[in-house]
Each structure stands twice: as structure tokens, then as C-alpha cells.
Amino acid sequence: MELPGALYRSYEKRLARQVRATGKVPRHIGVILDGNRRWARTLGESPSHGHRRGADKITEVLGWSAETGVEVVTLWMLSTDNLQRDESELASLLAIIVDAVETLAADGRWRLQHVGDASLLPAESAQRIAAACERTAGNGVLHVNVAVGYGGCLLYNT
């Protein structure tokens, strides 16, 4: 058995027991999708491999959230600082993010809303994210904020 997988399953069971025991469920949780590039490098893999593996976990996290009664999840996916990455890595990362958002929309269980400045994104990426979010307007009880093109300074200045 893979040790990290066993540890995650053990943690999931422990967390589920705590939620059941206390009955306390947060209304809103935030998930910062960070560390995927570093994780991939420790395995000798490309940053895009790490980003894709991180994106693959999103549906699982949203499933847990919905099952436990969380009402809102914010996925912090791409900050304005990340927009300064080298062009090839940014293009790959944006493609993964757009694919992830479209996959979440196609799932049909979540209501997606883009948070951030779409004008900072390539036009096609911004349009695809907006279209995916629009398709989910009447979906589910779990509201998912998709934060792409966000930043503290940006929010402060607007």
C-alpha cells in the first residue's frame, strides 16, 4: 500500500469522525492550490505534472465538502503573482485551470462563480471560464468560487 494514500485515508476518516462528533461544519472553506510545482519537482516531474495532479483532487475535495454540508468553497487557483511566471509554464497552468473549471461545470453538482480580474487573463481563457461558470447557474447547493487572476493588492485597489 502506498504510504501517502494510507495517511490521507486515515486523515479523512479522522476528520469525518470529528465532524460527526461535534456537528460543527464550516459554512465556507478556502483551498489554496499551492505546492503542486514543488511536489512535482521532488519527484523529478515537470511542474505541469504537479499542477494536473493537484487539479485532479479538486472534485474529491468538493465532494467531501458537499457531503459534510459546507455551503461555499473558494478555490484559490491563480493569483496575480502567478501571472508573472514564465510564458510556457503560465500557458500550461492556464490550460490546466481552464480544463479543471470546465470539468467541474460538466459535473453538474456545483454552482461555479469566477472571482478575480478576467481582464488579466488571455481572452480565450477568460471566455472559457466565464462560459463554464454561466452553465452552472442553477446547479446544486454547493457554491464554488473559482479564484483566477486575484490578488490582495488588486482587491485593495478595486
Is residue 4 included in any domain, yes or no?
A: no
Residue in the block written with cell 510556457: 88
Is residue 19 included in any domain, yes or no?
A: no
Is residue 104 included in any domain, yes or no?
A: yes
CA distance 99 to 107: 12
Of the candidates 100, 101, 97, which has an alpha carbon nearest to the alpha carbon of residue 135?
Answer: 101
Is residue 60 included in any domain, yes or no?
A: yes
Is residue 115 included in any domain, yes or no?
A: yes
- Its domain, for residue 95, covers 26-157
What is the Rg, in whole angstroms, of the alpha carbon atoms belonging to the chain? 16
Active-site positions read 34, 82
Number of domains in the chain: 1
pLDDT in tens, 47-82: 666 667 777 788 889 998 998 889 999 999 988 988
Q: Which residues of the chain have pLDDT under 70?
A: 1-4, 35-37, 40, 47-51, 152-158
pLDDT in tens, 81-91: 888 888 888 89
Is residue 147 included in any domain, yes or no?
A: yes
Q: Phi and psi dihedrals of 146, rounded to 5?
A: -105, 100
Other C-beta atoms closer than 10 Å to the C-beta of 14 total 10
The SS3 call for residue 75 is strand
Of the candidates 71, 75, 64, 49, which has an alpha carbon nearest to the alpha carbon of residue 8?
Answer: 64
CATH of the domain at 66: 3.40.1180.10
Is residue 145 included in any domain, yes or no?
A: yes
CA distance 121 to 124: 8
What pLDDT does 55 receive?
A: 76
Is residue 3 included in any domain, yes or no?
A: no
